[in-house]
A and B are shown apart, each in its own frame.
Chain A
Amino acid sequence: DAGVTQSPTHLIKTRGQHVTLRCSPISGHKSVSWYQQVLGQGPQFIFQYYEKEERGRGNFPDRFSARQFPNYSSELNVNALLLGDSALYLCASSLRADYQPQHFGDGTRLSIL
């Protein structure tokens, strides 16, 4: 079975632009979470969605938004990109929203010039 898939793999943007990152969860998984991992640090929680509703939000500015579609795939949108947004963006899926094992994709490497 396919794992969590994320696209694109790499992305280069300039300051002020916006970006959309995509995630397809493992088949049967209804919860999707997004994390930001800056080089040398552990991942930081951005959002969790379950059954198309936002269930949790981390300490990120309103420039970050996300949504989940009826097929449980998800998009993360970031507006007005800053140099500090350069990071690996990870998507994780789980069967449900409560304390389930999280399965991560390989991430999208976003570089801001």
Chain B
Amino acid sequence: KQEVTQIPAALSVPEGENLVLNCSFTDSAIYNLQWFRQDPGKGLTSLLLIQSSQREQTSGRLNASLDKSSGRSTLYIAASQPGDSATYLCAVFQGAQKLVFGQGTRLTINP
């Protein structure tokens, strides 16, 4: 059974800092991994999808890496801004049909 863990559960940093969010999964035989952002009371916004054959994916100030052998993915946010404050969720595809999510990291960027 695939389990996804995100550490830390909460993170607070000053504006302008670069930061890394961590995601680990127990079964390395994954296909794709997707990072999401969730604002309070809202749905999920897709940030990046990394295919199993890829090592990393970049979008603007965001960079996600994937190391299947160690069961880890990281989301790097450069030059953080207050608008980046949200909960960040990672999810892996278990089979073709479903995403298995971590519990998320609640990020606060302080002005």
Check if A56 sits within 8 Å of B95, measured CB to CB.
Answer: yes
* Residue from B31, B46, B98, B103 within 8 A of A101 (CB atoms): B46
Q: Please, how many angstroms separate the alpha-carbon atoms of A30 and B19 in the complex? A: 37
Check if B46 sits within 8 Å of A104, measured CB to CB.
Answer: yes
B91 at the interface (CB under 8 A from A): yes
Most chain-A CB neighbours within 10 Å: which of B4, B42, B49, B97?
B97
The bracket for how many chain B residues form the interface is: 20 to 34
B6's closest neighbor in chain A, by CB? A42
B111 at the interface (CB under 8 A from A): no
* Residue from B32, B41, B46 within 8 A of A99 (CB atoms): B32
Q: Please, how many angstroms separate the alpha-carbon atoms of A45 and B93 in the complex? A: 11
**Contact residues, A93-113 vs B (CB, 8 A):** 97-99, 101-107, 109
What are 23 A-to-B residue pairs whose CB atoms are below 8 Å? Answer: A4-B43, A6-B43, A33-B98, A42-B101, A42-B102, A42-B103, A43-B44, A45-B97, A45-B100, A48-B98, A55-B96, A55-B97, A56-B95, A56-B97, A56-B98, A92-B99, A99-B31, A99-B51, A101-B34, A103-B46, A104-B43, A104-B45, A109-B41
